[in-house]
Amino acid sequence: MSQVLTLIAKPLTDDHVRLVLATLPTGAAADWLATGQACDLRFRGASQGVEEAARQALAGAEVDLFCQADQPSRRRQLLVADMDSTIISGECIDEMAAVIGQKAQVAAITERAMSGEISFDQALRERAKMLIGLAEADLQAVYDQRIHLNPGARELVATMRAHGALTALVSGGFTFFTERVAAAAGFDHQQANQLHFVAGRLDGDVVEPILGPQEKLAALRALSKQQNLEPAQTLAVGDGANDLAMVKAAGLGVAYHAKPVLAQAAKARIEYGDLTALLYLQGYRASQFQS
């Protein structure tokens, strides 16, 4: 069977490629997707043990890599992405808490939830009660001043859309932010939890039902069914424990700068690169990127 091992780094050198080629079967060939950044190594044979051998050959170099079957379905037709610490650089709920001097306390709960130490629903309800009194204007200020797209977010979404994929932002965060982030990054669809306001201020409640890990998985499945897609045609990306179910179910499940609980379970992990790495994993060339 034909396989492709993708290497991604900034910079990715000829030496990196040479070292990894030496671990592959005779006849393996390099195809640069972006000079000095990403390269596909194609070979015939089994994929078992290929990634580990490549990592050993690279001796700790900061190179992301992933091996998969070299076939047309490598380009996925559905992207389902987490928002906080995936499409954006931080955690919205932590930044909301910063407005009232509660960031450290809320961030500690967020960390435990994303590491899988406590249930997502429990953590969300607990943190929401710590935000009582915040006004809609405060949330808008958080978005304007503290929320930033991660590098490569627009390119990832625009390029996949340009090649016919449906793109969805599915978050355990809040619609106040997903609506704005989805528009900024260009997603087709967004869904998240809804905060409860009374007279324009948060009252500490979250509108039920809560969108958590199983709801993310359900969104992946529903969108796949809507588009008549098989699991192999889907891509899911996230960073924490609440992304585990959807990342494991997707044809290409990616742990992006993730907590160990997700990084250890995902098919692929990006530890060093930006979000354009997800395009290289699908075989896109830098010359094909949209923004």
Active-site amino acid positions: 82, 84
DSSP 46-94: --TTHHHHHHHHHTT-S-EEEEEE-SGGGS-SEEEE-IIIIIBSS-HHH
Give the chain's count of helices (H) and strands (E): 12, 12
CA distance 116 to 147: 24
Q: Positive or negative, the Cα torsion across 107, 108, 110, 111? A: positive
DSSP 158-179: HHHHHTT-EEEEEEEEEHHHHH
Q: Are 151 and 273 in contact (CB under 8 A)?
A: no
DSSP state letter for 232: G
